[in-house]
Amino acid sequence: MKIINLISDMQKESLEARQANKTIGFVPTMGFLHEGHATLIERARKENDIVILSIFVNPLQFGPNEDFDAYPRDIERDERIARELGVDYLFYPTIQEMYKDDRTTLITVQKRVDVLCGKKRPGHFDGVATVVMKLFQITMPDKAYFGMKDAQQVAVIEGLISDYHLTVNLVRVNTIREEDGLAKSSRNVYLSPLERSVAPAIYQALKMGKQRLEQGDSILQTKELVESYITEKTGSEIDYVEIYSYPGLKEIQKPEDGDGLILAVAAKFSKARLIDNIVFSYTKGEN
């Protein structure tokens, strides 16, 4: 594995790979790698000649009340994991390298951001879109791999690719779950033993909501069912339960109004806020 810190060096390697007709799979991360990242890397390894992993804690996507300096970092551990997973290039730039001078432009995301988690994080997805655009230009990938646990981020980046006619193909990778269905997350360690034992009810509620929606329940009925089930089973505080079209993330009156649907949840426990979702194509009458 080759570690690269300079944009010019990464572009040179990527260009040479493309000229040699080698396919490039790209996995962008902010480091502190976990099993979800490993799944993205393994998928990229299977589908491409070259795998590039980036680690960059992007200051543009942190809000004023979000502690950029406290974000977990362990580059030696990340390097070891990347090597074990067969990464070819680890792109690890500094902030100064990525944002050398005063910026003359900033990508502003106008849609898909004023709902779900983005509703309370103004400007967050502007920072995401800006850094992803830069990383795409630096690594020149054929495919880029993103996990569906953050389905809103995936929707925003798919919009970016479409709007700017980028040639990269975004590959959606299903959420990685524990055996009991709980979405894997670094935040899970903050759950008490009791909270951890009841947290799988979130995914159970999502599956139940999907089934009831397809059996004919209205959007309002489904949202109420999911919220009441999670509250009753976990005792957590519901931040939101929402159903939108996907990837457009638009409000809909009936489930058949969306080409695809997302049923998404955020629930607050004593020391952790967990998010989860199901993205699916609606077909009335399925069980």
User: Which residues are catalytically annotated?
Assistant: 37
Q: Which of 133, 33, 179 is nearest to 42 (CA)?
A: 33
Cβ atoms of 133 and 107 within 8 Å: the answer is yes
- Cα 248 from Cα 251, distance rounded (Å): 9
Question: Would you list which residues are annotated within the binding site for (R)-pantoate?
Answer: 61, 153
- Cα 257 from Cα 197, distance rounded (Å): 36
The DSSP code for 176 is: P
The torsion angles phi and psi of 278, rounded to 5 degrees, stand at -130, 130
- Cα 1 from Cα 16, distance rounded (Å): 16
- Lay out the sheet containing 89-91: strands in order across: 2-4, 89-91, 50-55, 24-29, 143-147, 169-173
Cβ atoms of 230 and 202 within 8 Å: the answer is yes
Cβ atoms of 128 and 136 within 8 Å: the answer is no
**C-alpha distance from residue 108 to each of 118, 191, 265 (Å):** 13, 35, 25
Question: Would you list which residues are annotated within the binding site for ATP?
Answer: 30-37, 147-150, 176, 184-187
Question: Would you list which residues are annotated within the binding site?
Answer: 30-37, 61, 147-150, 153, 176, 184-187
- Cα 6 from Cα 91, distance rounded (Å): 8
Residue length, the chain? 287
- Cα 192 from Cα 196, distance rounded (Å): 6
Question: Would you list which residues are annotated within the binding site for beta-alanine?
Answer: 61
Q: Give the three-state DSSP class for 145.
A: strand
